[in-house]
């Protein structure tokens, strides 16, 4: 799908000034690129901080959910430290990344929502975390561009007893990762 340059420019403007996207920081435009960035640090398995256009942004990886390790008033969950460590290994500080957006620009915590691709090798970080068993699929419409890939990857990890599937009792909790619903 080809995205009109004006749509891309508007999406980039929304990253800089979320007020232009209706105050909440979301945009209902077609999926498109969010741009290039550099990793500053990993917060946990599914959240990173990047520097883009001269400012730092907190980025939530779309389509996956890793066990909680830093959520206030929440105990560290099974395999959370391993998931965080894997994300840190994939995205050490200074790593160049390409951020690709989906339907919504930001979540309710004002984090930029993105599919993260490591440069220059193009590794799709969100998918690697699901495939290796460090993340569950987290389908949150309307951001569903890669939902089927994440569900399939997590299903393979579960069948192969990889990652959290090898050590955590019922890591999926109330969801069935083979269906991708949450």
> CA dist 76 to 44, 45, 71, Å?
11, 12, 8
Tell me which residues are annotated as active site: 60, 68, 111
Whole-angstrom distance, CA of residue 102 vs CA of residue 42 = 21
SS (HEC) of 38-61:
EEEEEEECCEEEEEECCEEEEEEE
Beta carbons of 87 and 44 less than 8 angstroms apart: yes
**Residue 64 CA: distances (Å) to CA of 4, 24, 54, 162, 177:** 28, 22, 27, 16, 10
| 62 φ/ψ sector (left φ>0, alpha ψ -120 to 50, else beta) | beta
């Amino acid at each position: 799908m080809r995205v009109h340059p004006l749509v891309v420019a508007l999406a980039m403007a929304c990253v800089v000034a979320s007020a232009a996207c209706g105050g909440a920081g979301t945009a209902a435009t077609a999926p498109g690129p969010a741009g290039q960035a550099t990793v500053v640090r990993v917060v946990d398995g599914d959240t990173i901080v990047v520097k883009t256009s001269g400012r730092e942004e907190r980025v939530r990886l779309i389509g996956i959910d890793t066990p909680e390790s830093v959520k206030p008033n929440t105990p560290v969950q099974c395999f959370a430290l391993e998931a965080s460590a894997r994300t840190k290994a994939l995205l050490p500080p200074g790593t160049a990344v390409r951020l690709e957006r989906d339907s919504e620009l930001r979540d309710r915590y004002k984090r930029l929502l993105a599919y993260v691709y490591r440069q220059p090798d193009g590794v799709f970080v969100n998918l690697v975390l699901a495939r290796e068993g460090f993340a569950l699929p987290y389908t949150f419409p309307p951001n569903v561009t890669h939902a089927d890939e994440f569900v399939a990857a997590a299903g393979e990890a579960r069948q192969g007893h990889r990652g959290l599937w090898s050590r955590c009792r019922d890591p999926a909790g109330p969801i069935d990762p083979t269906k991708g619903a949450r």
